[in-house]
Structure 1
Amino acid sequence: MIRRAARKAKRIIKRILRIGNYQNIDVFRQWIEEVEPTVWNQGVLSYAPLISVVVPVYNVSSQMLRDCIDSVRKQTYENWELILVDDHSSWEDVRQVLSEYSDMPKIRVIYREENGNISEATNTGLAQVQGEFIAFMDCDDVLAPQALYEVAYLLNENQELDFIYSDEDKITEECQANREGKFAIPVKDRHTPFFKPDWSPDAFMCLNYTNHLSVYRTEIVKEVGGLRTKYNGSQDYDFVLRFMEHTTNRRVGHVDKILYHWRERKESVAYDPNSKPYALEVAKKLKEEMITRRGLHADVEYVDGEYQYRLVYHNDTNEKVSIIIPSKDNFDILKHCLATIAEFTDYPNYEVIIVDNGSAQDVQDKINDYIAGKNIHYIYEKQTFNFSHMCNIGAEHASGKYFLFLNDDIGILHQGWLDRLTGHAAQEHVGAVGAKLLYPDSTDIQHDGVLNLTCGPSHAFSHMDDAQSYYFARNRVEYDWLAVTGACLMVDRAKFYEVGGFDEEFPVAYNDIDLCFKLAEAGYYNVCRNDVILYHYESVSRGLDNQDDEKMLRLAMERSKLYKNHPAFEGYDPFYNRNLGGYNISFSIQMQGAGDHEPLQTESSMEDFVIDFDTESINFMARINSVEYLNSLVRVVGWFYTGSLKVDGKRDLYLVLRGESGKCYRVDVERFVSEEARRTYDSRYGNVGFEILIDKNKLDPKDQKYQIGVMISGDKRQDWFVQWTERWILR
């Protein structure tokens, strides 16, 4: 049974957490019940600005309208006003419901004499606001009871904010708020949470991801002039684009909590983007107008399958790009890289600089022969490998306004790639620009932005199939990321030197992450262009589970240095919502006591152990997600699968460490519900996650490395099986 299950596991391992916009409903409900009650802030606020909630109303059911109004009335924050604007509804019961609230404190009802559609109705309400801030709300949606308090709480932390948005989810059309006791939306009616990044100007150029709840400083709303009827359908998108022209990126705040419940009606965009086909055309037109208004050099381009338009920037002055390629003893791969650059680069002004740190003479001769007569500069300097130093040497010899650092194992696939990277790098707010990298001859993702997870920097969606769209089009449109890979990284020359270039104290790993961290700290935004798709010819098998021992130790040391240099980013990524998993690359929900969990703080029990059973006759899946070095302590996190998560959750479980001499230790594990396992095998069970924390100094010093094995009980409790992994603990 276990052997058959292992074959099945290998067939479907690449399904690991391929989520799109849909979050597993059972996991989300568990999150609502166990996590959400713990996230709310409390306490008296020293600054309590009046927040005006403006709601245009038109032909909505009585129950939906009452839910909307009552969700404002039941706010834990007291300093609000509600302005309801009836846009000449033809349904009599709308006026009846509004009349029930018209005499209540803090509520004003305005009846328009003619229908003007959503923009005119909203503007009518805006003309009557008295608050320092304005919140927009639709008449069929619902606020969380803590919504306005959380907005005010953030304003107490930073009173300079002009625009605040929150996370959101959707509720079913038939949902009715619970009015018995505390006002609340039934858990069963909530779904599709959108846990958003902090302000991401490049993502916002592609899609109106801020959406609900959004709160704006009234003074600027007046300057902007409210909503424009010619952009009905995308009027709020147009409004925010114009609003941002009156403030700065640093004055936008994000509440990473679900403050807004968007009702999913069959005729609404919440249910089906195609319900308002005119909205797509309107979005295109408003972006085209925005390009003209801002004086940008850009085109609007439709993103297939995503119901969105992206911006493609152009560098019309064609400033020179210096493509800097570190390489050593890798002629055939380098030749392929150079050939694809020549074949697919239509950008008219670029140079190529090869930096070689010690190739053999025959390789040097081949390179010199190949580049003869081409606009390629070859710099040879024999030295110990230091990727950062090689890149810095290339930059010193470069004459371009833009640097493109490119690995020699990259293959270009399409025309226009360099123009798109350069156009984006030319934007004033942008730091590093990366590309989507795929494994060769496949649609499997190698890089699509870097997440700064609990276990360290990790490539988003690594080894997942790019044929699918993941988590609100993260792999389809341009999103801002804390970092992008140095395998293909473009940056403006001046910005590169502003932050000190590559830190040569990072000779092998994390040099690109360090550079991106420095750019972020300087106020720039790093972005990945999903329309620039390249092949990366690194080994598909190389990854977290297959790193050699020396690499693991070096990674641990350089990761420690990375966070020592950038302590604000240890355990924090502004573009990765804290409600998402701290140990995975796939944007799943963060659970407490399930799935991703609070790391162990105490050492695991460990004892000498003798394996007196056959370990080679059984094969099951054992996955090690991370081996983390914390000075003398080592943390190991992973999970296993034999064929049934329900059964596996009841098996006895240990980790086994086997030294080179054959000496073994058995280690007690802390078990947890692995969300990765649950989603991979589409199961509500998953108590197959494990974690250990040991002091490596307590291992026998005669062995310098110990292989990690996962030991489980069989179907009969007296049977034991071990699956050896390719991960090691180094002393």
Structure 2
Amino acid sequence: MQNRFEIMKYRYRIGEPDVLLIQGWFQENTVNDSILEVYLDQRRLTAVLESQSGVDIQKRKHSRERKIDTEYWLRITLPAEYKAGSKLYVYQKDNEQNVKIAAIPIGRIEKLHSDFDDYVDLITCHEDTVLIQGWIASREAVQLQVLDEQKNQLKSETVYKVRKDVLQDFPELKSADITGFEIRIPECRNKKVYLAAKIGEKKYSRICRIDRTKAERIVGKVQKAVQKGGLSISQNGLGTTCARMKKRLLENRTSEYEIWLQKHLPTAEELEEQRRTQFAYQPKISIVIPLYKTPIKYLDALIHSVIDQTYPDWELCLSDGSGEHSPLQGHLAKWQKKDSRIRVVYSGKPMQISENTNCALEIATGDYVAFADHDDLLEPNALFENVSVINRHEDADVIYSDEDKTTMNGREHFDAHFKPDYNVDLLNTVNYFCHFLVVKREIADRVGPLDSRYDGAQDYDFVLRCTEATKNIYHIPKIIYHWRAHKDSTAGDPASKLYAFEAGAKAIQAHYDRVGVDAAVYQTDIFGNYRSEYHLKNTPLISIIIPNKDHVEELKKCIDSIEEKSKYLNREYVIVENNSENPETFAYYESLKREKENVTVLTWDGTFNYSAINNYGAGQAAGDYYLFLNNDTEMISENGLEELLGRCMREDVGVVGARLYYEDRTIQHAGVVIGLGGVAGHVFVDFRDDTPGYFSRIVCAQEYSAVTAACMMVSKEVFEQVQGFDEKLAVAYNDIDFCLRVGAAGKRVVYNPFAEFYHYESKSRGADDTVENKARFEQEESYFLDRWKNLIEQGDPYYNPNLTLIYGDYGLRLAED
């Protein structure tokens, strides 16, 4: 049979214990004239064939090999008495042929009920830290913990992630139903651990074997591959199956990021070209590093990474704060003899990090000062990239770069941090500058040395003081620094240095006090992340502008939520009636006006034009600040208005947006990235509400190029300055365009995750699927793209060019992007 149906796996449909799904594909990529029939022994069962196609399918290994872009699901309804049967048979009829393509024992199907859908992708060991990565598919809440061989709970850190790559295997689920996880187990010397999962009220466990011999690891992976592959051997034969397994095992040896990194690091030829480059301005860069009983192997690796720099005009300023009997002194003397650019100062006493770093600063003679840790690594092009920026931008005072982490042996890289360009609100939330930091000596001298009052966050305090001295801050979107992860560092075990996070809060508070910002700083549940609560000096009138067409229940829920929860009383509602037809709508308007003095109902007589409707409402509003709010929203946080207003009242801010959820508490809006999806798109859509996202960006206050006007605050002054919404954009991209014009006017657009609302979405107007509406959408999209062509081509400054523009999950930008 030429167009054979190849079965990949089978499982129960999530939440439907009487429905079995068989997943597979046809060798000719389409069903053609084939008919699939399913029998329980001799009894024919009801079976429905469904399909899904697209780029995600093409990424699968079998799809790439055979150019398959369509997968099929055979949905089988099992009778109540199916357990009494012997086997489930699948037949394929094609023209005159009738071929049995599978015979699945009922016992094997029955066992699926006692299991859950999960997969452990990776178990790796970094020194004595074990990393377990995988996913679980379930509509119920998932809780994970790790147990030792005696079933005692082990200390572990779990990060939950969205796994859209898995979602295509579960078309009946939403993204939020796929719980991706990454579990780090420090100081783990067990040969096996149990991954214990509580799913709803049921408990399950998996054995995860670690520290095995090479042969055992291969056998384990083969066994897992056979288990997940289902009927692969019976269908394809042992030889073909083993060949595919070999390829899969080899592919899985290296992480996706490791492969990406090797492709994006400069080649040997490029490095050699850099060494031959003569810049118009060749500043000396002093790399200052405090040492404290640094292990010799890490110290040597660091020094080698500096000596290997393609840019030659540097000096390495080392301060040995190890104390009177330093184990490093003799070794450092040897390095000084080898290279005159290496300078060392000894204190003769143990020193804390600020004092130690300041000693290194005192012997620095460079035009710029660079900061690094004593056991980290620089890429050979690190200084070259910085000097390139300095030559392109003569005003460059502060430069920071992207970075990743490396294992203690330096062989593996992970946790790549692809950062945005200078982002004031994000920096006041978390020290995302971190490494590799290069500062003009003039600026460093002006702001003063590191302050020991902030030890543990002394670099954070220093960076904040630098931002007070200059706004000429540049970002290198390249991985040029590798942060060696150690179990005792704040990166590897946050709880081990709580004092550092307390110092971080003090550093931000001191920064606010110096620049005259009236705000209080609090630590959040995520170590190293902070929340700033702005104190309102006055309570200006907020005009809440709500376009509405019918949907009285949604509008009432919207207004009631504010009335019942908000403690900010100086507000008015401006409802812009837009062609409603139901008498109940107008009756509700009248009741609102009778019951509340702060309600105005305006009537828009024209066709639907979101921009014109909101402009009309703003023109009649009396407030100093406008909150544009969809009628299908509901306030969650009682201080939502204060959170929006506090930032919006800043002189440098033009627009403030909120964190919005769908009804199931998954993310609907957490910021907008220009270029995402080709034009602009929301990030982190469908992420669970307890998931912080990539480097906690969901829960960080920060600047974005745009936020959604489903819940967006702007001052009357700024709104009038940019002349409101562009009425040529009646439906599409009007809020994005508005935010971009506010940004172009020199104001910041800020996303505040602590202003939380539900957004039930798309109830403000009807469906947009008519030919006329589609044509309008395409016209408006073309108008938007033409206006903002340069920004889209250059890339969103609050995103990163190394991140995907296909998905909104901050994943790596791969070849298909």
What is the TM-score normalised by the length of structure 2? 0.67
**1:4 alignment partner in structure 2:** 22
Q: Secondary structure at the match of 2:255?
A: helix
Distance 1:112 1:569, change over 3 A: same
Read off the aligned partner of 1:51 and give its amino acid letter.
I
Note if 1:345 corresponds to 2:580.
Answer: no
Read off the aligned partner of 2:557 and give its amino acid letter.
H
Distance 1:512 1:590, change over 3 A: same
Q: Secondary structure at the match of 2:508?
A: helix
**2:687 alignment partner in structure 1:** 464
CA contact (8 A) 1:59 1:91 kept: no
CA contact (8 A) 1:264 1:270 kept: yes
Distance 1:359 1:50, change over 3 A: same
Q: Secondary structure at the match of 2:416?
A: strand
**1:485 alignment partner in structure 2:** 708
Report the alpha carbon displacement of residue 326 of structure 1 after superposing the two structures with TM. Answer: 1.1
RMSD, aligned CA = 2.6
Report the alpha carbon displacement of residue 22 of structure 1 after superposing the two structures with TM. Answer: 9.8
Distance 1:520 1:505, change over 3 A: same
Distance 1:97 1:551, change over 3 A: farther
CA contact (8 A) 2:289 2:318 kept: yes
Report the alpha carbon displacement of residue 550 of structure 1 after superposing the two structures with TM. Answer: 5.3
Report the alpha carbon displacement of residue 547 of structure 1 after superposing the two structures with TM. Answer: 6.4
Distance 1:64 1:12, change over 3 A: farther
* Equivalent-residue separation in structure 2 for 1:543 and 1:458 (angstroms): 21
Distance 1:16 1:52, change over 3 A: farther
Read off the aligned partner of 1:399 and give its amino acid letter.
A
CA contact (8 A) 2:323 2:351 kept: no
1:133 to 368, 371, 382: 368
1:559 to 771, 778, 781: 781
CA contact (8 A) 1:56 1:86 kept: yes
**1:158 alignment partner in structure 2:** 393
Read off the aligned partner of 1:14 and give its amino acid letter.
S
Report the alpha carbon displacement of residue 376 of structure 1 after superposing the two structures with TM. Answer: 1.0
CA contact (8 A) 1:303 1:476 kept: no
* Equivalent-residue separation in structure 2 for 1:574 and 1:126 (angstroms): 32
Distance 1:10 1:454, change over 3 A: closer
CA contact (8 A) 1:301 1:309 kept: yes
CA contact (8 A) 2:288 2:370 kept: yes
Distance 1:543 1:427, change over 3 A: farther
Note if 1:403 corresponds to 2:638.
Answer: no
**1:29 alignment partner in structure 2:** 258
Q: Secondary structure at the match of 2:696?
A: coil
Q: Secondary structure at the match of 1:131?
A: coil
> Matched residues, percent identical?
36
Note if 1:367 corresponds to 2:559.
Answer: no
Read off the aligned partner of 1:72 and give its amino acid letter.
V
Report the alpha carbon displacement of residue 19 of structure 1 after superposing the two structures with TM. Answer: 7.1
Note if 1:45 corresponds to 2:258.
Answer: no
**2:336 alignment partner in structure 1:** 102
**1:301 alignment partner in structure 2:** 522
- Higher radius of gyration, 1 or 2: 2
CA contact (8 A) 2:174 2:686 kept: no
Report the alpha carbon displacement of residue 157 of structure 1 after superposing the two structures with TM. Answer: 1.6
CA contact (8 A) 1:431 1:492 kept: yes
Read off the aligned partner of 1:560 and give its amino acid letter.
S
* Equivalent-residue separation in structure 2 for 1:135 and 1:485 (angstroms): 39
* Equivalent-residue separation in structure 1 for 2:603 and 2:520 (angstroms): 41
Note if 1:311 corresponds to 2:540.
Answer: no
**1:276 alignment partner in structure 2:** 497
What is the TM-score normalised by the length of structure 1? 0.75
CA contact (8 A) 1:449 1:481 kept: yes
* Equivalent-residue separation in structure 2 for 1:370 and 1:380 (angstroms): 15
> 1:504-653 residue pairs with structure 2 within 5 A?
504-538=727-761, 551-571=773-793, 572-592=795-815, 596-597=816-817
Report the alpha carbon displacement of residue 245 of structure 1 after superposing the two structures with TM. Answer: 1.0
CA contact (8 A) 2:677 2:807 kept: no
Distance 1:118 1:359, change over 3 A: same
Read off the aligned partner of 1:58 and give its amino acid letter.
Y
Distance 1:258 1:439, change over 3 A: same
1:215 to 434, 438, 445: 438
CA contact (8 A) 2:545 2:573 kept: yes
CA contact (8 A) 2:502 2:523 kept: no
* Equivalent-residue separation in structure 2 for 1:539 and 1:82 (angstroms): 59
2:638 to 412, 415, 418: 415
* Equivalent-residue separation in structure 2 for 1:531 and 1:439 (angstroms): 16
1:332-363 CA distance string (max 9 Å, x none): 22122111111111113211111123223723
Highest RCO, 1 vs 2 (Cα 8 Å, sep ≥ 6):
1
Distance 1:146 1:327, change over 3 A: same
Report the alpha carbon displacement of residue 156 of structure 1 after superposing the two structures with TM. Answer: 1.6
Note if 1:332 corresponds to 2:553.
Answer: yes
Q: State which drifts further: 152-161 or 223-232.
A: 152-161
Read off the aligned partner of 1:406 and give its amino acid letter.
L
> 1:187-226 residue pairs with structure 2 within 5 A?
188-226=411-449
1:424-456 CA distance string (max 9 Å, x none): 11122222111111111x221111111221522
* Equivalent-residue separation in structure 2 for 1:193 and 1:211 (angstroms): 13
Distance 1:369 1:566, change over 3 A: same
1:220-261 CA distance string (max 9 Å, x none): 11111110001100000011111111112xx11000001111
CA contact (8 A) 1:206 1:477 kept: yes
Q: Secondary structure at the match of 1:411?
A: strand
* Equivalent-residue separation in structure 1 for 2:179 and 2:731 (angstroms): 31
